[in-house]
Structure 1
Amino acid sequence: MKVFGKLEPQQRQNLLVLFTAGILFWSSMASLLPTLPGYVADLGGSKQQIGIVMGAFAIGLLVFRPWLGKLADRRSRKLVLIIGTTVAAIAPLGYLGFKSIPLLMLIRAFHGISIAAFTTAYSTLIVELSPVKHRGELIGYMSLTMPVGLAIGPAIGGFLVEYRGYTPLFILSASLGAIATLACSRIAECSPEVIADNVHKHATSRIPTLTLLGKILRDRALAIPTIVLLLYGLSFGAVSTFVPLFIEETQIDLNPGLFYTAAAIASFSIRLFVGKASDRYGRGVFISSSLVFYGLAMAILSQATDATATIIAAILEGGGSGILVPMMIALLSDRSSSAQRGQIFAICISGLDLGIAIAGPYLGTVAESLGYKGIFGVSAGVTFLGLAIFAILCNKTVENSFGFAIGKSEDAYAIEQL
């Protein structure tokens, strides 16, 4: 991690505060992963209703992320970051106050705003604090907050529910969000010169969100990553929603929290190396590898009958996520200008949000007819479809795309060359 020694003191301090806030935020989110589906089931929710409630999370993501991205570009990254952590502090208390399925859907949708705000501002701030030639490395290190939170949160959440019930769980989740808000308040804003420069850029190049969305969908450089994220989101939605219920249905002797913890450890471990390596070998080969890992994880889950196979799937799932998310952020950073990076992040990552939104109700219907194993079989096919699209269409020609996907060609769409 010698790269941190090359940064200015203010940059290092901001990154440290961001890292702390990130761990708190993701611990708050992850504490509900193995527990909230069971909470909805205990309130009388069917398999399909569980999927709908969990999938409603993405409604807040989809509706608010473009606006939050614009707000981050034009006003303040810090403001958007604080919006995210504040929602994370409020929403868990709503689960305590509302017991009906429709009201839980509303609270879950509101909770989705937290990730829309936090991830957009967090990613944009990291990119702006990172020298171009070390961008992948710093994104890799700073993205460790997610697997650390995903390792801590489910373990604590599962323990609290088992021994103390749901009320302490929701209070803990809210408290972690509140502490993250205090941490974010200590982030130093950009210098007046930088703010003035950004204002000048946006005064001459303000593009409405719908216009920018249309531009992105017509631009292969940004559209293909968005589509791949959408397909990945379908599979991720299956894992985040249905793994605990799958383990219960198949009577596998495994605490669901351990699945997420194993995945988080794998995600953490691989991010230590992938970011720096991508600065040298390119983003494409790592994105391809991540989709292979994730597809194999889904295939193994669809056939799993014991704890060993389930943990192997968790490790592959964590490794796939640990590579794909930071590499997609780095790829989008390479292909976008700083003046519109917040909006482009927000819209492109909305592909992931849409995938998660579709996953809950659609895969819940699949579960009704094929069971939870059928969900993961469908997810495997979807993930490998994303791999095929990326390998064929991720660059200007099929030949260049395949070369970039296996690490043999440079990114022809990169604005800032590494």
Structure 2
Amino acid sequence: MRGALSWPFVRLYLLTLFYFSANAILNVIIPLKGEALGASNAEIGMVMGAYLFTTMLLRPWAGQVIGRHGAVRVLRLILAVNGVALVLYPFTGLGGYLAARMLQGVCTAFFSMALQLGIIDALPEQERSQGISMYSLCASMPGIIGPLLALGMWEASDGSAFTWSMLGLALLTGAIGYSATLGGSRAANGSASVMQQREAMQQGEAAQREAQQVPVAGGPAVRSAAASVATGKSPAASVHIRQSCGDGATDERSERTSAASVPAPPATPAAGASAPPAASLRGSFGELVRNPHLFKCSVLMLTASVVFGAATIFIPLYASQVADGSAALFLMLQAAVVVVARFTLRKRIPSDGRWHHGFIMKVMLLLSAAALCVSLAAWGGAVLFYAGALLMGLAQALLYPALTTYLSFVLPKASRNVLMGLFIATADLGVSLGGMMMGPLADLLSYSWMYGLCALAGAVMVGFAYDHKGRLAGAAG
């Protein structure tokens, strides 16, 4: 097998599968445990939202840290921290859950950035959507069986099963992660190396153009030396001096001259060259508004993620209000559709760098219909409830890979890693707000009305996705 399904990438997908397995259990256990402890929906939403809120805050810096310290060292550290977080759950209460969720958020920020950016940079353009879909697929697969296992543990009222599951996953994740480190780190380090090489080439070419354009006193030899300094050649530059002889012939001699003695032209930042990390990151936040591609994708992802987050966090509590409703079955159906759709439909996700607004509008319509079905399930029963699960799974399977693939084409290459991190951070923020913002709304209104507002937000995004002026028709940068 080659490309996105070759063995090095399969190892990355397996690592992703085991890393996210614990969340499939915790997404059911924590809300149920919080309700049993007397916590409000707002408090439960705060604990659940702390995970991806922490991830969101750290995600933009993750790529820079990985590039500076190396994927191997960072991956080993976060796997150890993730193991500590998993061990906290069986032995603490709601406050300990909050601390553990924040630790997991720190780990996920670095883990997912290393893998996703590595996949994007290592795969050919026509296979990027497949790689991102497979990564998302393996992150979603634990959701098929995890909710059922969690509900079984909860109904058994036996804490030992939950304890051993967390301890086992901590050890298993570490073992799989350490064995897959070399394969994963090659992809991630290769991504950083490729980006560094691109940036170095851009800086060198720009500096050479500056050296050629800026007048430098001292004749051609000195200008040549200045160009050597600008392009980063060795400190001792070889300067060829041509001297005219009496008979008109030219005698060429080579004289080693210290580059430090040659005044270099003033450094001018080149368009597209990367800025220092801190400055680049600060300037990138403004791109969320200035860059039309990033702005539209981020707003769509933020809104959709609010709906996804509200479903994941509060379905375990809402299911008891639906006749014949089962939270485990809902989450299993949703995850199963995500898994099947991302595998079977991965080649249908656009991967040409063009904005297919018709495709995105249909996906957002699916999301709105899913939330509406869940909202009406309190009166319509299990049929609407599970129909919402199927539609939401399909929307979740298609939206993230489509937007991520599109941005991988249209974002400027020099700042693509940072800007992609900001986009993924909006997805994290949306899921967090699905708990932190929708929890108080559920307390104030009801679960049904809260999901109705989610359906309304999705419907608004159907119109927002339409590119009526054709500004996003082609790739930029």
What band does the TM-score fall into relative to the shorter chain? 0.7 to 0.9
Contact 1:17 1:186 in 2 (8 A): no
Task: Give 1:309 shift.
Answer: 1.7
Aligned pairs for 1:243-254 within 5 A: 243-248=315-320, 250-254=321-325
The answer to whether residue 234 in structure 2 is matched with residue 161 in structure 1 is no
Letter of the 1:240 counterpart: T
Q: C-alpha separation between the residues in 2 aligned to 1:181 and 1:161?
A: 29
Task: Give 1:19 shift.
Answer: 1.1
The answer to whether residue 119 in structure 2 is matched with residue 126 in structure 1 is yes
Distance change (3 Å), C-alpha of 1:234 and 1:192:
closer
Aligned pairs for 1:260-409 within 5 A: 260-279=331-350, 284=356, 285-305=358-378, 306-392=381-467, 398-400=468-470
Task: Give 1:24 shift.
Answer: 0.8
Q: C-alpha separation between the residues in 2 aligned to 1:258 and 1:216?
A: 38
Distance change (3 Å), C-alpha of 1:83 and 1:184:
farther
Distance change (3 Å), C-alpha of 1:217 and 1:43:
same
Distance change (3 Å), C-alpha of 1:367 and 1:85:
same
Letter of the 2:291 counterpart: D
Q: Match for 2:181 among 139, 162, 185? A: 185
Task: Give 1:123 shift.
Answer: 1.3
Name the SS for the 2:58 alignment partner.
helix
Aligned twin of 2:109: 116
Q: C-alpha separation between the residues in 1 aligned to 2:190 and 2:78?
A: 26
Aligned pairs for 1:59-208 within 5 A: 59-82=53-76, 84-101=78-95, 103-163=96-156, 164-165=158-159, 166-187=162-183, 189=186, 197-202=194-199, 204=203, 205-206=274-275, 207-208=277-278
Q: C-alpha separation between the residues in 2 aligned to 1:82 and 1:331?
A: 31
Distance change (3 Å), C-alpha of 1:87 and 1:341:
farther
Contact 2:51 2:432 in 1 (8 A): yes
Q: C-alpha separation between the residues in 2 aligned to 1:379 and 1:320?
A: 14
The number of equivalent residue pairs is: 394
Contact 1:74 1:199 in 2 (8 A): no
Letter of the 2:314 counterpart: F
Distance change (3 Å), C-alpha of 1:65 and 1:293:
same
Q: C-alpha separation between the residues in 2 aligned to 1:146 and 1:194?
A: 21
Q: C-alpha separation between the residues in 2 aligned to 1:176 and 1:290?
A: 36
Distance change (3 Å), C-alpha of 1:280 and 1:363:
closer
Contact 2:349 2:398 in 1 (8 A): no
- Could you state the TM-score of these two structures normalised by the residue count of structure 1? 0.85
Letter of the 1:301 counterpart: V
Shifted more, 213-222 versus 84-93: the winner is 84-93
CA deviations 1:325-359 (Å, max 9, x no partner) are: 11121112112355433322211111112222222
Contact 1:262 1:311 in 2 (8 A): yes
Letter of the 1:43 counterpart: L
Aligned twin of 2:39: 45
Aligned twin of 2:49: 55
The answer to whether residue 235 in structure 2 is matched with residue 238 in structure 1 is no
Name the SS for the 2:38 alignment partner.
coil
CA deviations 1:147-176 (Å, max 9, x no partner) are: 212213222222233333342343344344
Task: Give 1:39 shift.
Answer: 1.4
Shifted more, 54-63 versus 196-205: the winner is 196-205
Aligned twin of 2:269: none
Letter of the 2:443 counterpart: E
Shifted more, 92-101 versus 375-384: the winner is 92-101
Shifted more, 318-327 versus 118-127: the winner is 118-127
Contact 1:81 1:122 in 2 (8 A): no
CA deviations 1:98-135 (Å, max 9, x no partner) are: 3244x432332222223322222221111122111222
Task: Give 1:194 shift.
Answer: 7.5
Q: C-alpha separation between the residues in 1 aligned to 2:407 and 2:88?
A: 35
Contact 2:288 2:295 in 1 (8 A): yes
Aligned twin of 1:223: 295
Letter of the 2:41 counterpart: K
Where is the helix percentage greater, Structure 1 or Structure 2? Answer: 1
Q: C-alpha separation between the residues in 1 aligned to 2:48 and 2:189?
A: 42
Q: C-alpha separation between the residues in 1 aligned to 2:416 and 2:154?
A: 40
Distance change (3 Å), C-alpha of 1:381 and 1:169:
farther
Aligned twin of 1:395: none
Task: Give 1:260 shift.
Answer: 1.2
Contact 2:128 2:351 in 1 (8 A): no
Task: Give 1:73 shift.
Answer: 4.4
Task: Give 1:216 shift.
Answer: 3.4
Q: C-alpha separation between the residues in 2 aligned to 1:202 and 1:280?
A: 25
Shifted more, 253-262 versus 311-320: the winner is 253-262
- Could you state the TM-score of these two structures normalised by the residue count of structure 2? 0.75
Q: C-alpha separation between the residues in 2 aligned to 1:116 and 1:358?
A: 17
Structure 2, gaps ≥5 residues long: 204-273
Q: C-alpha separation between the residues in 2 aligned to 1:192 and 1:127?
A: 12
Letter of the 1:36 counterpart: I
Letter of the 1:255 counterpart: S
